[in-house]
Structure 1
């Protein structure tokens, strides 16, 4: 590696808790000659300011300018994100584990009962009990109101099908991401882009 070659990889988001002066080492990974790397990592890149708003952003152009002011001779190449979101926590206390557990349990209950109602209303709309009765009569020639021999396997199969499709419980057949994880990643990417744009508009205004 050339002694004046520097690779910079910005993270997508970092959290700052104590120091209001943000250094390059706080927001990026630096690949360079060891001495040069330490000097670059100590460069102050951003100051939170007196307002101490919770969200800030820095783009790679600002990082390159700061480095060039100190080391004009270096050749800089960006291999990471174009922007980084800096979250200033301002010494906020971490919520208690009990409160976090209560919130998670509450959300799980809402999702469980909401999904249960959705499944039941769907089965009512498509007249699933009548379908089971007709299937039972088709194979046995008899008519009964509650063909449990069909309904019980159907209910078990419905639960197993959901588990296999989302692949997110104790059954882990492969290392590929689940559909839910893919959607979460998409949401996080869109949230990152929206946050950066919002901060830039706020700074311009």
Structure 2
């Protein structure tokens, strides 16, 4: 009776330079117990120093390697047909200066955007009008409204993005996380389709 090996390839994996890529790294495996240890440790690709940052591993290569080592087994695939291997190279450049620079840039840019928006919609005049409606007094700087409003903007942004530093308020993903996920999905699809480009090395069946 022919044994069946089921594999489900992962969409994307990360690894360091010059590592051996095992089948368990790139795929979920369902097979008879006697084959599982060998399948988990089966080398499907060995990274080289001249590899680019992204390597696309095709399911046909996986099937070919498994069939060569287990000729009496049938291989069934489920799900994605390619795994994108991202090679994480060691960076010797200190990240703190770049982090501080980006933080200052984003802080200044977002602050100017908020100021320009409030100036465009005449928010100060609106606060003055509201203060007059509530108290009956006309003041140039209605701080009683402006100060809580300023804190409210910050609290609203924190609640909107569902984060304060590394603390998450609930399990619901923030709009930024959803956009990042969609961007990553589009990027992976692009790399898979354009795997013959110079930036990506195609892995043909030996």
1:136 equivalent in alignment to 2:131? yes
From 90, 93, 101, the counterpart of 2:90: 93
The verdict on how the C-alpha distance between 1:73 and 1:18 changes in structure 2, with shifts beyond 3 A counting, is: same
Which 4+ stretches in 1 moved above 6 angstroms?
Answer: none
Q: How does 1:32-181 map to 2 (within 5 A)?
A: 32-46=31-45, 48=47, 51-88=50-87, 92-95=89-92, 99-169=94-164, 172-181=168-177
Which residues in structure 2 correspond to 1:18-33 (within 5 Å)?
18-19=18-19, 22-33=21-32
**Contact 2:163 2:169 (8 Å CA) reproduced:** no
Structure 2: where are the runs of 5+ without partners? none
CA distance in 2, matches of 1:64, 1:105: 47
Q: What is the RMSD computed on CA atoms of the aligned residues?
A: 2.7
Structure with higher helix content: 1
Q: CA deviation at 1:51?
A: 4.3
Q: Distance in 2 between matches of 1:192 and 1:166?
A: 25
Q: Which has the higher strand share?
A: 2
Higher RCO by CA contacts (8 Å cutoff, separation 6 or greater)? 2
Assess, with a 3 A threshold, how the Cα gap between structure 1 residues 172 and 47 changes in structure 2: closer, same or farther: closer
TM-score, normalized by length of structure 2?
Answer: 0.81
**Contact preservation (8 Å) 2:18, 2:49:** no
Please give the secondary structure, in 2, of the residue aligned with 1:175.
coil
TM-score by length of structure 1 reads: 0.81
Per-residue deviation, 1:129? 0.6
Q: Which runs of 5+ in 1 are unaligned?
A: none
Count of residue correspondences: 198
